[in-house]
């Protein structure tokens, strides 16, 4: 009856029996008292007072019972369809003697659309960069189909349409990813393509995914996404070029008219260094847009096998642990040189020729007396300054036992002033706050953990008391005397010599870290992470910035997405997780500013995107941070050309419309097949069931009703001289 069904009452109170019992007693008491009223009153006054008292009591008990009345309301409605009409400038393109917009007008005036209007309830929107009911409320110089789908789902969140009718050429060049938006929308999208297409063949690169750091001699993958239209029967050739030389290619015979595909190219770098690569699609003379057929990018190629010279005067536990670690790492070939006078059969002379020394990527000098190095002054100096070599010098008792000559002092970040000046006690080092993410110090991935790790590791027991630092040296960690923050003794530091680097550590031992963490603890291998950080940072050339963010190109069309890509590695080229930052754009003409956050992705990769930028010259300023510590600041300029994407590229993209329909559960049609749309739309009225609840308790009006009944009853009693 009246479209109402499934009526029910639920009481939320836990004391239903007690409440009903009290209600019954109060009603009985009210009836008995009014029957015994003295002096006698006219029956109609008794009746009014009784009704007021009983109503108040009933309402009070009703509030105590906390009833909830539930029922289902059924009604019919027409199907709901939201119509999205593309009015961007690309819809003004004339094909086969008619503009795309005119085709939509002819559809709207046709019998099929009139039938649709009669049987369903239509909500019509127009869109360019956003949806609107009026032409002048949206910009037509760009098309943002993904943004439009998102806005529809937000606007009609309460009343979800049964279908969304998308009338467009599919040329989406701004805003959110349209396919991703289609996956999240709750209504099937019926896409109607209004581009005639014809012979406008096009093939272009849409995205490239690659590792910015790879190893020589090891295969890596470069994933290339390309899209095509009107390409059935064509062959897609994807080339990988290194400095203009062909490194690899793959071919794909296209059987679909329109589509998107991902292809993997194997890259096998032969040598280390910075490489400039290019993905190229050979241009077809009939292509609509030839500017999207190539894209260049650079990567850093590291050596996969490093040769290390390990020189020691008197081998000990430190020697054994470090040599074993380096040999277990597949990237090191280690030559051990024991150069002490008492080394017996293990003795091996330090290389005397420059050509021999220059074969090594890393030299480790473990606690060697300075006099043993004096004869090697020239080749060590040339190894650092000319070859750009890497030296890790570990100071200990032997190093501090003899005076140091000027040539060696000039190479060190800090040096012992007096002979045998060694601190022998247990202590921990304090890492430099401004260099917490340096590979030598980075034993964890955030600042607080790095500080904590350096304080929890097995203590050092020996420190060569050094003075310094030398000019341009960097001290990474120091011994800070307890209770005296000004008493700071440098312990770990480095000094650059042209392209070469020398790291000096004035503390020992390190081997206990490896012993504790490998034998007695489940914690990660801090010893291995320290040695890896030291050796990787020393051996990586400084010809490639480990932190960088840059736009994909320097000149964009108006309405085009301005995408910044980047990466964040430490100086040993290990990814830094949890990096954040901002990109700020300033219009050089108007001074207007806009800012977005950098998004951190997997493996240290970063990205940021601007939309809807006006034409003009812009300056950009990038800040890359981690836990409020500035890692890198980058600046540059880009240009947004005055003509927009709708003018530059007015080709249709039916493949996008197909993907939108496919991912939303809808269907795709050409404009010439609009009549078929009526066949898939269920135009029968929908029977809608709505479950409703009426809550009586906890209402202000109920309280006023109870008070009002008691008050009126009390006034009547007083007027009739009753208690």
Quick: pLDDT tens for 52-64: 777 877 777 777 7
Through-space distance between the first and last CA atoms of the chain, rounded to whole angstroms = 48
Query: For position 644, what pLDDT does the model report?
Result: 59
Output the pTM of the full model.
0.61
Query: For position 283, what pLDDT does the model report?
Result: 84
Half-sphere exposure of 194 (CA within 13 A, CB side): 29
d(CA 231, CA 259): 9
d(CA 604, CA 177): 23
DSSP for 498-513 reads: TTEEEEEE-EE--HHH
Half-sphere exposure of 116 (CA within 13 A, CB side): 24
Q: Are strands 121-127 and 131-132 parallel, antiparallel or unpaired?
A: antiparallel
d(CA 233, CA 235): 7
List the alpha helices (DSSP H) in 316-359. 317-328, 354-357
d(CA 624, CA 622): 7
Query: For position 278, what pLDDT does the model report?
Result: 92
| Coil, helix or strand at residue 677 | helix
Query: For position 513, what pLDDT does the model report?
Result: 85
Query: For position 721, what pLDDT does the model report?
Result: 65
In the numeric block, which tokens belong to residue 546? 């480990």
- Is residue 64 within 8 Å of 13, Cβ to Cβ? yes
| Partners of 644 in beta bridges | 558
- Is residue 533 within 8 Å of 442, Cβ to Cβ? yes
How crowded is residue 441: how many other Cβ atoms within 10 Å of its Cβ? 22
Half-sphere exposure of 576 (CA within 13 A, CB side): 29
Half-sphere exposure of 357 (CA within 13 A, CB side): 24
Query: For position 34, what pLDDT does the model report?
Result: 62
d(CA 577, CA 604): 6
Instruction: Please identify every stretch of the chain with a pLDDT value under 70, giving residue numbers as ranges.
Output: 1-7, 11-15, 19, 23, 30-41, 65, 135-137, 156-158, 197-200, 343-344, 483-486, 515-524, 543-544, 559, 642-651, 688, 696-698, 721-723
């Amino acid at each position: 009856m009246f479209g109402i069904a499934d009526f029910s009452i639920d009481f939320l109170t836990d004391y239903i029996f007690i409440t009903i019992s009290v209600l019954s007693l109060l009603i009985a008491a009210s009836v008995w008292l009014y029957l015994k009223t003295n002096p006698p009153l006219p029956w109609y006054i008794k009746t009014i007072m009784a009704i007021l008292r009983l109503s108040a009591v009933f309402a009070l008990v009703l509030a105590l019972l906390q009833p909830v009345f539930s029922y289902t309301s059924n009604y019919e409605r027409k199907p709901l369809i939201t119509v999205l009409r593309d009015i961007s400038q690309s819809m003004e393109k004339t094909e086969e003697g008619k503009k795309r917009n005119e085709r939509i007008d002819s559809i709207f005036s046709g019998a099929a659309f009139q039938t649709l209007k009669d049987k369903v309830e239509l909500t019509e929107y127009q869109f360019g960069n956003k949806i609107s009911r009026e032409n002048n409320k949206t910009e037509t110089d760009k098309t943002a189909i993904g943004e439009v789908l998102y806005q529809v789902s937000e606007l009609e969140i309460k009343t979800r349409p049964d279908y969304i009718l998308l009338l467009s050429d599919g040329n989406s060049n701004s805003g959110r990813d349209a396919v991703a938006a289609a996956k999240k929308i709750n209504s099937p999208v019926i896409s109607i393509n209004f581009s005639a297409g014809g012979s406008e063949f096009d093939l272009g690169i849409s995205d490239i995914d690659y590792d910015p750091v790879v190893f020589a001699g090891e295969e890596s993958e470069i994933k290339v996404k390309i899209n095509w239209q009107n390409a059935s029967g064509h062959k897609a050739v994807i080339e990988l070029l290194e400095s203009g030389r062909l490194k690899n290619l793959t071919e794909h015979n296209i059987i679909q008219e329109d589509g998107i595909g991902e292809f993997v190219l194997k890259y096998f770098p032969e040598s280390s260094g910075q490489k400039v690569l290019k993905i190229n699609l050979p241009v077809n003379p009939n292509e609509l847009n030839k500017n999207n057929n190539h894209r260049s990018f650079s990567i850093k190629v590291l050596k996969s096998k490093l040769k290390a010279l390990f020189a020691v005067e008197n081998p000990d536990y430190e020697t054994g642990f470090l040599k074993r670690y380096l040999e277990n790492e597949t990237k090191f070939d280690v030559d051990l040189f024991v150069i002490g006078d008492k080394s017996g059969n293990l003795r091996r002379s330090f290389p005397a020729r420059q050509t021999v020394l220059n074969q090594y990527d890393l030299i480790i000098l473990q606690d060697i007396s300075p006099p043993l190095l004096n004869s090697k002054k020239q080749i060590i100096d040339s190894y650092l300054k000319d070859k750009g070599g890497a030296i890790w010098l570990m100071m200990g008792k032997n190093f501090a036992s003899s005076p140091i000559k000027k040539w060696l002092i000039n190479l060190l970040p800090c040096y012992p002033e007096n002979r045998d000046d060694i601190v022998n006690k247990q202590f921990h080092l304090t890492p430099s706050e401004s260099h917490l993410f340096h590979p030598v110090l980075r034993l964890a991935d955030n600042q607080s953990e790095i500080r904590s790790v350096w304080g929890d590791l097995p203590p050092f027991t020996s420190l060569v008391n050094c003075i310094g630092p030398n000019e341009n040296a960097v001290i990474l960690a120091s011994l800070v005397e307890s209770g005296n923050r000004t008493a700071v003794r440098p312990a770990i530091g480095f000094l650059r010599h042209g392209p070469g680097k020398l790291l000096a550590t004035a503390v020992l031992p390190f081997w206990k870290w490896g012993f504790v963490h490998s034998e007695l603890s489940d914690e990660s291998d801090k010893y291995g992470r320290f040695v890896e950080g030291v050796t990787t940072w020393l051996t990586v050339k400084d010809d490639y910035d480990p932190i960088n963010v840059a736009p994909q190109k320097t000149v964009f069309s108006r309405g085009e997405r301005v995408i910044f890509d980047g990466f964040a590695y430490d100086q040993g080229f290990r990814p830094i997780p949890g990096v954040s930052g901002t990109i700020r754009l300033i219009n050089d003409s108007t001074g207007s500013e806009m800012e977005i956050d950098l998004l951190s992705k997997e493996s240290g990769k970063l990205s940021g995107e601007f939309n809807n930028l006006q034409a003009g010259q812009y300056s950009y300023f990038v800040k890359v941070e981690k836990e409020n510590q500035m890692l890198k600041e980058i600046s540059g300029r880009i240009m947004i050309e005055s003509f927009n994407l709708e003018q530059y590229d007015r080709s249709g993209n039916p493949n996008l419309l197909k993907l939108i329909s496919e991912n939303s559960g809808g269907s795709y049609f050409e404009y010439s097949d609009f009549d078929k749309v009526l066949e898939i739309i269920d135009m029968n009225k929908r029977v809608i069931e709505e479950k409703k609840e009426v809550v009586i308790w906890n209402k202000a009006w109920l309280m006023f009703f109870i008070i009002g009944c008691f008050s009126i009853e009390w006034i009547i009693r007083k007027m009739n001289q009753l208690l």
